[in-house]
Chains A and B, each alone.
Chain A
Amino acid sequence: MLRYLSTRLVRALLTICFVVTFAFIILRLSGDPALLILSPDAPPEAIEAFRKSWGLDRPVWEQYFHYFAAIAEGNLGRSMRDGRPALELVLERVPATLALTIPALILKIGIGIPAGIYAALHRNKLADRLTMLFSVAGFTVPSFVLGLLLVLVFSVNLGWLPSGGQDSWVHGILPVITLGTAGAAVLARFTRSAMLEVLGQPYIRTASAKGLPWRRVIIDHALPNAAIPTVTIVGFMVGSLVAGAVVVESVFSWPGVGRLLVIAVANRDLAVVQTILLFVAATMVCANLTVDMLYGWIDPRLRTRRVAGAG
């Protein structure tokens, strides 16, 4: 277990190094923060001073090492826009994002999993077909399209719900629905196929042959087994709690981490982008580790090795 955890950790660290480097290269090559933040018409002396104070006048490789060394020491830097610590800026935005993504996650699980199970148990019947139709629609329509559609119907036409902002929980309804729909659709499809796979297994027939009522066969012999693959997807969704709302936050002008990321990228505000990426990577890694642990708990095959002899 320890060896397993340490390899996972090394892998996670490598991933993070890669992400950090990648972000540096992309942001440094694609625009000049001095021009973007100060505007191109600023006096050349001001731009020069800005570059000097942020170390942008030094060679790129030196900047890179400087930046990397700082991260290794736990110093995530400051925003070039207002000089505030990047970590503070990001942390400030996290609650707003979670206020969308956590209810959305509950929506995904609460609708997606039961719908998938129901569809599997009524395979090829009307209920199954309808569920799958909604599911396909749910994840083929991009979330900005769905978001705009919802705004059009519920804000513009009906005037029931606000189209943006974060003044009250009512403002969260449309973004949560937008976020939840696609996830619920994915989860429904996934749960359905996991259930169908399990229902075709010989041990289901054994359980029926034993005389168990169908309801007990489902609850005791199908659901626990179908949970194994489903946990992976849910884990992935948990991993994207912080980063998964970039588009939706932009559509609904929701002041969360996602919007901050968009603004920071536009300004080539490296420290902020970097901090967000590290945050996202860290949540992903934690979610993955949790999933691995859950696996061991649900699936005894991963937890115990073959011990008994032949015969």
Chain B
Amino acid sequence: METLVSIRGLTVDFDLGHRVVRVLHGVDLTIGKGQAIGLVGESGSGKSVTWLAALGLLGPRAHVGGSVQLSGEPLLGVPAARLEAVRGRRVAMIFQDPASALNPVHRIGRQIGEALRLHRGLDGAAARAEAKRLLERVGIADARRRLDDYPHQLSGGTNQRVMIAMALAGEPDMLVADEPTTALDATIQAQILDLLRELRRDGGMSMVLISHDLGVVAENSDRIAVMYAGRIVEEAPTAELFAAPRHPYTTGLLAALPDLDGPRRRLVAIPGTVPEPARLPPGCAFAPRCPQAIAACTTGVPPLVHVATDHRAACIRVQTAMAA
């Protein structure tokens, strides 16, 4: 498969003034053309920061290292104009809370129109007609009237559809959806996920779906990458990850998943919380919460290595088991 985006050794340090904190410790991730990747992990694991860093959206206090390439061309350290040509046009991003992600003082039509003018050179009536078509495409009823609405006049679900329409305006090669349904209730959540699936099927767009819920990404991705404390700890095709998870953290996430088809069982949440970036434990960051931790786990950070042809995990026990 042709590679669209390739992230290598991505690091992010935030300059907090009194000290510098590393929140990403070298992330490797590849997204193929037309591929859908799910990125999961608990809150604070670095899912959003990964993609904000890749698109240069973190602001001046963040120092980004490593490399990010889009179709072989670098994205890190390039001039602002180069990045602006990529954002929205090649890679679009939508965010968690659609109500605050849209500007409250501008009409929907205008906010979509901006992207249309920028990326497709459309203006005036042509832009309006296209914006209306996009709203219809994402399933908004009475699209013409909605163009003149402000975000606060629309529901959360409709606003997220507007965000998606805005993302589609640039006809991007890839859509990064950062927890697009977390702020929405369950029915709306399902509708938005259906819409994203449909768009991907029709458009051949690559997609990164970020979520803290393995269940959400399961049905919407070809591959899943699991993040913990600023690192990818396991990465595999979706079916394989569910059938044969190798990292104890992934196992923990799976155990916390309600089983839709099978018999009802007790959900087992992973005890403890994600460590703060400034206070990572030595060695494997998951060690304090890991039911399988051994003494060796605290001596060094386990690297992400292949545990099967198309399956990588970062756990000392998996490695020793393979070596044995």
Contacts and interface: CB of A to CB of B under 8 A. Distances in A.
A165 interface: no
Interface string B41-64: 000000000001001010000000
Contacts of A211: 84-89, 115, 118-119, 170
Interface residues of A, number: 31
Interface stretch (B92-100, B201-209, B217-225): B92-100
Interface string B225-260: 000000000000000000000000000000000000
A221 B103 contact: yes
Nearest to B154: A308
Nearest to A311: B157
A299 B104 contact: yes
Contacts of A214: 80
Interface of B: 17, 52, 55, 57, 80-81, 84-89, 92-93, 95, 97, 100-107, 114-115, 118-119, 146, 149-150, 152-155, 157-158, 163, 166, 170, 188, 191
A307 interface: yes
Contacts of A221: 103, 106
Contacts of B104: 203, 225, 299-301
Given A206-B102, A208-B57, A310-B158, 9 more contacts: A206-B166, A209-B93, A211-B118, A213-B81, A300-B105, A301-B152, A308-B146, A310-B157, A311-B155
Contacts of A124: 17
A299 B106 CA distance: 9
B87 to A, nearest CB: 4
A48 interface: no
A209 B55 contact: yes
B57 A209 contact: yes
A301 B149 CA distance: 11
Contacts of B149: 307-308
A265 to B, nearest CB: 45
24 contacts: A201-B100, A206-B95, A207-B114, A208-B57, A209-B88, A210-B87, A210-B92, A210-B166, A211-B84, A211-B89, A211-B115, A211-B118, A212-B118, A225-B103, A299-B105, A300-B105, A301-B152, A304-B150, A307-B149, A307-B153, A308-B153, A308-B155, A308-B158, A310-B155
A153 to B, nearest CB: 37
A304 B153 contact: yes
A309 B114 CA distance: 26
A203 B256 CA distance: 33
A203 B152 contact: no
Given A225-B104, A308-B149, A311-B188, A212 B114 contact: yes
Nearest to A308: B154
Interface string A296-307: 001111001111
A208 B55 CA distance: 10
Contacts of B97: 202
A210 B88 contact: yes
Contacts of B163: 206
A64 to B, nearest CB: 49
Contact of B152 (A213, A224, A306, A310): A306
A201 B59 CA distance: 13
Interface in A138-167: none
A200 to B, nearest CB: 10
A214 to B, nearest CB: 7
B101 A206 contact: yes
A308 B57 CA distance: 32
A206 B107 CA distance: 15
A75 B118 CA distance: 63
A220 interface: yes
Contacts of B170: 210-211
Contacts of B114: 207, 210, 212, 220
